[in-house]
A and B are shown apart, each in its own frame.
Chain A
Amino acid sequence: MTPLLAARGLACARGGVLVLEGLDLELAPGAALALRGPNGVGKTTLLRTLAGLQPPAAGTILAAPEAVAYAAHADGLKATLTAAENLGFWAAVHGTDAAGAALAALDLAALADRPAGNLSAGQKRRLGLARLLVTGRPLWLLDEPTVSLDAAAVARFAEVLRGHLARGGAALIATHADLALPEAGVLELAPFRARLRPVTRGDFDAAFG
């Protein structure tokens, strides 16, 4: 089966400094992979690189075109639009009409007409995750998806995720929390941390570090 995402010898930089290097990665349809590692190891940087928001410092990324749905820390919600309007906008941008089903899937149907600014942090997060469903894209790149979700909502989201995988989707999830998703593989990022030599005398005349 062709993988949805494959990366070879990937290196990522943040603020001009290498953080990850030598990373190989493959995600087949139906697979989920949890990214783990201490704060600052480069989880967000890796996800942004895979989403195409920043170029890799080295290596190649192979992904099916228009396959990636990225969910960042921020949910991209407009406070003055209602939950349904927010989701409807993203559905229209992605050319789908799954907004109603997505609201129901994350238990938000009752809040559809509430302005997003009036939602609690957990409800906003659920709305942000519902956006993934309306994109209709197979590869989900999730950055700490369960932040500010309660136990019931985490279980709910795991169910949504499982459904997505069953439909042939895949997910790469940066998280510290337990996802209630035992079938997901785990990728520990710490071994791929870029090894930076300490600065020595001869370095100054080299090209830029």
Chain B
Amino acid sequence: MSLWEYANPKKFMETSARLLPWVAGLAAAGLAVALVWGFFLTPDDFRQGATVRIVFVHVPAAMMAINAWVMMLVASLIWLVRRHHVSALAAKAAAPVGMVFTLVALVTGAVWGQPMWGTWWAWDPRLTSFLILFLFYLGYIALWEAVEDPDMAADLTGVLCLVGSVFALLSRYAVNFWNQGLHQGASLSVAPGERMDIVYRLPLYVAMAAFALLFLALVLARTRTEIRARRLKALIARERLA
């Protein structure tokens, strides 16, 4: 039994139907635990006060914003090489989810930046990179919407995703070059001394796992919808001709 069996739409529908309630339930439970723990059961930070708690939404959202794009890239590659329809539809399904995570990261970042840096928005390299990532999501989704033929749309967005990934990476370096920035270092840096305290780190890990599960649940649900929409379209086209 090969992994590619799940690329068969029928098999995927069966498996995902069984999987989805568990993933969604775990995501909900994880989010409840992480947010209650993070928001109410952690001490105030000695410098940032209560605002530090926004980290439990901001960091996981930012992480998933990038991971969603990576997942789209992998799914696009699988579609372009192996022509599995489920893969293309999963990439399509992930894009709006990734875009919303990007937006959440940007908005929570602005809300956090206001008390910390005294401004809602700064052209800091990290913030700018996320704004650029948001634009890439926007273009990718717009191309999916614009092309009528589903296979053609899958091919064109796949190529755009490949080229876009290279340019998104280049933009990241360009933006770093352009402005050194005031954003703090990565929150889970492995360098000693810079690390967050364990009281924050544990709920953050839970939050990250919960966000990943949430992403998986949303993508599964949306992929199922896309597969059904695709079937409906094929059947309608056939009925019109027959």
Contact = CB atoms under 8 A, between A and B. Distances in A.
Interface of A: 15-17, 196-199, 203-209
B10 A196 contact: no
Nearest to A197: B242
Given A17-B237, A198-B239, A204-B231, 6 more contacts: A15-B237, A16-B237, A196-B241, A199-B242, A206-B10, A209-B238
A15 B9 contact: no
A107 B178 CA distance: 64
Given A205-B10, A207-B8, A208-B85, A199 B231 contact: no
Interface of B: 8-10, 13, 85, 149-151, 230-232, 234-235, 237-239, 241-242
B150 A199 contact: no
A16 B150 contact: yes
Nearest to B9: A207
Nearest to B231: A204
Contacts of B231: 204, 206, 208-209
Given A16-B150, A207-B8, A199 B235 contact: yes
A198 B241 CA distance: 9
B9 A208 contact: yes
B15 to A, nearest CB: 14
Contact of B234 (A197, A205, A208): A208
Contacts, number: 42
B110 to A, nearest CB: 43
Q: What does DSSP make chain B's interface, helix, strand, loop or mixed?
A: helix
Contacts of B85: 207-208
Contact of A17 (B9, B150, B238): B238
Contacts of A205: 10, 13
A206 B14 CA distance: 12
A101 to B, nearest CB: 40
Of the candidates A17, A203, A208, the one having the most CB atoms from chain B within 10 angstroms of its own CB is A208
A196 B150 contact: no
A199 B238 contact: yes
27 contacts: A15-B149, A15-B237, A16-B150, A16-B151, A16-B234, A16-B237, A17-B241, A196-B238, A196-B241, A196-B242, A197-B242, A198-B239, A199-B238, A199-B239, A204-B232, A204-B235, A205-B10, A205-B13, A206-B10, A207-B9, A207-B10, A208-B85, A208-B231, A209-B231, A209-B234, A209-B235, A209-B238
A207 B239 CA distance: 16
Contacts of A196: 238, 241-242
Contacts of A208: 9, 85, 230-231, 234
Contacts of B241: 17, 196
Given A198-B239, A208-B234, A209-B234, A16 B149 contact: yes
A199 B234 CA distance: 10
A17 B10 CA distance: 20
A208 B88 CA distance: 13
